[in-house]
């Protein structure tokens, strides 16, 4: 077991290119990506990680062709119909960050059901970032802070610590490590506030072919980095 990783975040990227390389449709990559979510989540749980946040759909992903977006909307149902039982057995709690409102009713229902069913589980929290964007999250937090001041429930001056209480990740520990697959080295609007001091680890491997062994190695790479938080060691 790898010690002291409380919160790991993953930008699961490269599904489409991985599929294309095999002369398959992009949706084939997403299908295999879902299987990988199960495998890596279970490995993270075995490693004792407390929170695993997976970037599943960004606020920018609506720009994709309708057919691909519609396919992506069906993935939560595919995932939870197969794996909710196993998640329950492993005591894993499901949560989401992002705005679920624009999703089709059935997708919302499946997600709300998984959140509800697992709400009493006390093990790893598996957070799906769905229709999530870091900039929107910060703007929404600012709006919530403003209304709290206006209605009198917030009397403290605005500080980093009390601003964080308005972010979608308020209940989670700081992100220690963010992994991005598929060779891209950018954040693509993921957890902009939260990643300020996280370690960033990139791999060329596409998400559907990330092995548990490589995942463990990436955790070790993150852990082996010296974190200075602006100070000196
Ligand atoms: C990640 O894989 C999955 C989502 C963004 C939903 P991509 O679909 O971005 O695959 P590539 O990056 O085009 O290969
Ligand atoms: C980021 O991947 C979003 C998710 C993994 C859900 P993208 O493939 O959408 O990001 P860009 O377009 O390469 O920046
Ligand atoms: Mg991509």
Three-state DSSP state, 119: coil
pLDDT at 4: 76
Residue 179's pLDDT is what? 98
β-partners of residue 9 are 53, 178
CATH class of 7-224: alpha beta
| Whether pLDDT at 2 is above 60 | no
Q: Residue 54 — φ and ψ, nearest 5°?
A: -110, 125
Marked catalytic residue, from 61, 113, 121, 189 = 61
126 Cα: distance to centroid of ligand 1 (angstroms): 20
> pTM for this structure?
0.97
Ligand closest in space to the Cα of 131: 2
pLDDT tens, residue by residue, 50-74: 999 999 999 999 999 999 999 999 9
118 CB-contact burial (10 Å; exposed 0-12 / middle 13-18 / buried 19+): buried
- Cβ–ligand 2 contact at 12 (below 6 Å): yes
CA–CA dist 217, 175 (Å, integer): 18
Determine the distance separating the centroid of ligand 1 and the alpha carbon of 228, expressed in angstroms.
Answer: 32
Whether residue 6 lies in the annotated active site: no
Task: Over range 185-194, report the average pLDDT.
Answer: 98
Residue located via tokens 């595919």: 78
- Domain residue extents for the chain: 7-224
- Ligand 1 mutation target, pool 78, 182, 205, most atoms within 8 A of CB: 182
Question: How far is the CA of 226 from the CAs of 80, 110, 198, in angstroms?
Answer: 38, 41, 11
Q: Would you state the structure tokens that stand for residue 149, as one six-digit string? A: 């001041």
**Run of H or E including 24:** none
pLDDT tens profile 173-187: 999 999 999 999 999
The ligand 1 atom at the shortest distance from the C-alpha of residue 64 is: 8
Tokens of 2: 């790898």
Nearest to 80 by CA among 40, 102, 109, 54: 109
Q: What is the tens place of the pLDDT at every residue in 97-152? A: 999 999 999 999 999 999 999 999 999 999 999 999 999 999 999 999 999 999 99
Q: How many Å apart are CA 108 and CA 166, to the nearest integer? A: 23
| Separation CA 135–CA 191 (nearest Å) | 8
């Amino acid at each position: 077991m790898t010690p002291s990783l409380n919160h790991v975040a993953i930008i699961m990227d490269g599904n489409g290119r991985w599929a294309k390389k095999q002369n398959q449709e992009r949706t084939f990559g997403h299908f295999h990506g879902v299987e990988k979510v199960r495998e890596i989540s279970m490995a993270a749980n075995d490693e004792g990680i407390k929170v695993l946040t997976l970037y599943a759909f960004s606020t920018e992903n609506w720009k994709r062709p309708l057919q691909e977006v519609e396919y992506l909307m069906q993935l939560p149902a595919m995932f939870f119909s197969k794996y909710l039982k196993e998640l329950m057995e492993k005591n894993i709690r499901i949560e989401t960050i992002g705005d679920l409102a624009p999703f089709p009713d059935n997708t919302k229902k499946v997600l709300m059901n998984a959140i509800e069913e697992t709400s009493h589980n006390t093990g790893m929290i598996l957070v799906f970032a769905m229709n999530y964007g870091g900039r929107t999250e910060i703007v929404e937090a600012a709006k919530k802070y403003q209304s709290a001041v206006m209605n009198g429930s917030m009397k403290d001056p605005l500080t980093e610590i009390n601003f964080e209480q308005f972010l979608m990740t308020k209940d989670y520990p700081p992100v220690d490590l963010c992994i991005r697959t598929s060779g891209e080295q950018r954040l693509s609007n993921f957890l902009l506030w939260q990643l300020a001091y996280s370690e960033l680890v990139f791999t060329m491997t596409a998400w559907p072919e990330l092995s548990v062994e490589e995942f463990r190695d990436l955790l070790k790479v993150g852990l082996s980095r010296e974190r200075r938080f602006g100070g000196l060691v």
